Structure formats: structure tokens, C-alpha cells
A and B are shown apart, each in its own frame.
Chain A
Amino acid sequence: MIIIRIFVISIWILAFLNHGGYLRAQQLEVNILEGGTDTLDFGNIRTVDQDGNPKVASVTRRVLIKVDNPTANRYQVIQRLDNPFLSPKGEALAAGALKFYVDGAQKQGIMGPTSLEPVAIGDRIIYTSDNSGSADQFFINYLLEVKDVLSKGRYQTNIAYSITER
């Protein structure tokens, strides 16, 4: 009997607190605006013109990050790259070929970087909210610039976005 009472009371209080956001963590939504919905696809890269002369291939892509924060605690959004673009044979794209910057935040958070910077291996803070942890959204603008003649094939990497309380 006592267990049922504890269960009922707990559920009731938890539901109330959850509705108020007390038990919900921050969440973020990643929308790939160009190049695909599930994959950030930079398309076909060609670094040789029709006459066989080298040329630089540049492709831009945009990602919209939306943050939901029911906790009112300050938070940070972090971008992480574990490895460079790799070909099926394991050949790595030169460091610095993928660059990015952040813009378009609507609240008083701090964006970074706001000018092109290479996407380096590891973590990079790309947004820090205001003190009241306002929900916000912003754009990540990517530029893929390839100068070398790369081996044929599909190159891939993973980019992770995470949100943590600060």
C-alpha cells in the first residue's frame, strides 16, 4: 500500500515538474538547409577543368541549429570533429579544407567563430548562451575548398553537435 502511494505521489509531482521544464534537459535540433536532410552532402568535387588544368573547387553548405532550453541555465553548443574526411581507401583530406563560421543568432548569446576558421579535429565551442539560457537558433556556414586532385570515391566524416550546461 505504501509503495503504491509513493508511486502515485511521485508520478504526480514528476509530471508537474516536467511540465515546468524542471526535469527536461536542453535539446538541440540540427537542420541541414543545403545538400540533403540527413547528410551534409557537398556533392561532386572536380578540381580539373575540361582541358586538364587544375582548378579550385569551392562548395558552401548551411546548417541551422535550434536550441530548446527549458532549464533557464546557461548552456554551450559544441561542434566536434573526430577525424578528417576520409576516402574509401583511408586517404585523408588535407586539414583546413573544410572551414566554417557561425551567424544569425537571435538572442544575446556569444557566437564563435564569426569569420571563416578551419574545422579542426576535436571540440570547438560554437555558441554560448546568455546568463538566462535563452533558447536560440543560429546558422553554421561551411566552406569546402579543394585544390588538389583527390583519388576518386566518396569521402566521409562525422560532425557531432552537443549541448551542455555551463
Chain B
Amino acid sequence: MFKNMQTKKIIFSVAVILFLSRAMALAQTFTKNITATFSVDPVTSISVTALDGGTGVDFGNISSYEKGSTITRNLEVSVVSNTGNPYKVTQKIEGSFTDDQGNSLPPDICTFHLLPSGNTKGRLEVVSPTVVSGENVLFTSTEDGASDKFIIVYELKLPGLFKAGNYLTSITFTLS
């Protein structure tokens, strides 16, 4: 009688252990975690697009225009930046329009001012016509240095006839 009871206890206990072991095994949900990642390098670039065609500011052949008329050309300046730092765009004019003979046009015949392009977020620093000369800060970005763009409008006012020739000057844009 005693031995029979002991055997029953052993069988019962083993059965309970097996049941629990099986239940624990089936209750497991095997999960594996991985980290997915990528990195973005800092980028800062400036590009200029002539909205009236060509690659620069070309006023064309001015002899066909009447005295006192104004010729307008537009440049769009785009800045791409992901550094999070504020920036400024500066324009530097190397000198007045000069032909290959060394003849120069009066410096005040060309002016410029800025317009927003779409939803320009930063601050336009030159909004009224200003003589194209020397160095000017054109644009100050938002505090977080967001990518942005704006338009520069150049206006050439013709006071009279000039000596024939190709008149050139150089404009440099700097991002700082």
C-alpha cells in the first residue's frame, strides 16, 4: 500500500514537471533584434541658375535698346546645407564692366536687388536697388541653417551710346 502510494507520487510529480517543461517551451517566442542604420555626411553647397537662359548674366547686344531703357536679368541662388549652422551668402564684384580695350562703363549703370524664390525662409539683405560694386552680404539664413534659395535681379540702365565692344565683369558668390 505504502509503495503503491510512493509510485503514484513519483508518476504525478514527473507528469507535472513534464507538463510545465512542455508549456514553457511552447510559451517561448523567439525574437532576434537588429539595429538598422545609415549616416548622412555634412553637405554645404551653393549653385547659381540664370533664369533668362545661359550660364551667367548676359545683357546681350545693348545697341538695339533705346537710351534710358532698362534691361533686366535674373539669377536664382540655391544653397543646400544640412549642417544645422547658420550661413551668409556674399556677392563680390571684381570691377566695373570693361571691354578688351580697357574701356569701362560707368559703375552706377547696373544695380541689383533681391526677391524671394518660392518660400524663401532666410532674410534678404538687399531689397532696394543697389549699385553692383564691391562686396555685399546678400542673404542670411535661418538660425538652423536650412537650405534656401532666392533671386537676384540685375538691372542695366542705358544712359546713352557706348563704344562698341564686349563688356565683362566677374561676380563671385561666397557661402560662409
Contacts and interface: CB of A to CB of B under 8 A. Distances in A.
Interface residues of A, number: 57
B49 to A, nearest CB: 10
Nearest to A6: B13
Majority secondary structure of chain B interface residues (helix, strand, loop or mixed): mixed
Nearest to B81: A149
Contacts of B28: 25
Interface string B17-51: 11001100110111111111111111101110000
B131 interface: no
A39 B36 CA distance: 6
Contact of B84 (A25, A46, A152, A160): A152
Interface in B68-84: 78, 80, 82-84
Given A43-B39, A157-B36, A159-B34, A23 B22 contact: yes
The winner among A71, A142, A155 for most chain B CB atoms within 10 A is A155
A152 B83 contact: yes
B3 to A, nearest CB: 11
Contact of B35 (A59, A144, A156, A165): A156
B6 interface: yes
Interface string A126-158: 000000000000000010100001111111111
Given A45-B40, A150-B40, A155-B39, A13 B14 contact: yes
Nearest to A14: B21
A6 B30 contact: no
Interface string A19-44: 00011111111101000001111111
Nearest to A98: B36
B161 interface: no
A59 B43 contact: no
Q: Which 10 A-B pairs have the closest CB atoms?
A: A52-B45, A42-B38, A52-B47, A162-B31, A25-B28, A40-B36, A152-B42, A6-B13, A154-B39, A10-B17
Interface of A: 2, 5-6, 9-10, 13-14, 17, 22-30, 32, 38-46, 48, 51-54, 59, 63, 71, 85, 87, 98, 142, 144, 149-165
